[in-house]
Chain A
C-alpha cells in the first residue's frame, strides 16, 4: 500500500507549467529525497501534500494527489486542517513563533482544539524527546523560543510538527540554514523518525540525500526525470541529466 501517491499531476502558476505530469508513489516509513536544480519544482511538489500551494494566488492543479489512497484535493470529506494535522511540515529556515518553547510545541494542539492541560504537557514532552531537544530545554520551557540557537530552533520546529502526531513529515531543506554540527543532529534525527513517520525531504545537498534517504527523486524543469532507490540514483542512474547532477556537473 502506498502512503503517498500522485497520478499524472500538473501544476500551473498562472501560465507557467511548474510540474509536468508527475506520477510517483511513496511507501510508508521510508525517507524520500527530492533533488534537482533550483526552480525544478521539487519544493512545489513537496507543498502539494499539505496543500500549502493553495495560498499562492493563480495556482491551478490537475491530476490526483492521494494520501492513504484518498484524494486530498477533490474530496469533500477531507478538510484542509484535518489534512495538515496528518501531514506535518518543517521549513527551510527555523521559524519558531514569538512564544515560549512550551507554547511553540503546544501550538498545533491548541489550534486543533486539544487544550487539556496534562495531555498538552505530556505531548509536549514526548515531542521534544522525539526531536532530541528535551534534555537541552526541559529547564527553560517558559523561555522565549528565540533564545535558542539556530540548530535548536530547527529541532524545536520539528518537535512542533510532531506534537500533532502526523503520519507524514515534509521537510523543505531543513538543514540548509544550519552549521555542520546542527546539520548532523538533524540528519540523525531523520534516521530515528523514519520508524514512525513517512518522510519526504527536499535537499540541495547530495551527500545529505545519500546519507538519509531510502529513495531519491530527481526533478528537472518541472519533470520527474528519475525515481529509484537512493544507491541506484547515486551510483548507476539511467538518465544522463541525473548522472551529471548527482556528480556535481550542473545545478
Chain B
C-alpha cells in the first residue's frame, strides 16, 4: 500500500465542482437515509411504549407533543418523503430512462419541491384530523 501514498494527483473532489441540483439531491438522499436510520429509534420507542402500557406511552406522548418532539417528527416526515421521492427517481433511472440533463434536473427539483409540499400537506391533514385546526 506504501506506493499509493506517493505524490500522485488526487481526483477532483466535491469542493471543486459548482453544486448542481442532481448532485445536491444525491447528497441529500444519503443524508436523509442516515437520518431515517436513527429515526427508527423513534418508531421502536412508539411501538415498545404502546406494548408496555399507558404509563410508558404517556412518556412517549409527552416527548412527541413537546416542541423538540414535534421538530424531530417534522424532520422525520420530510426525510421520509424526500427519500421516498428520491427512491422513485432511482427506479426510473434503473430502467435506463431520465438520464438526459433536462429530465434529471427537473426530477431533482421535483424531489425537493415535492417533498416539502407533501410534508406541509401531511402536517395540515394531521392537525385537521386531530381537531387542532
Q: Do A and B bind each other?
A: no
Chain A residues in the interface with B (C-beta under 8 A): none
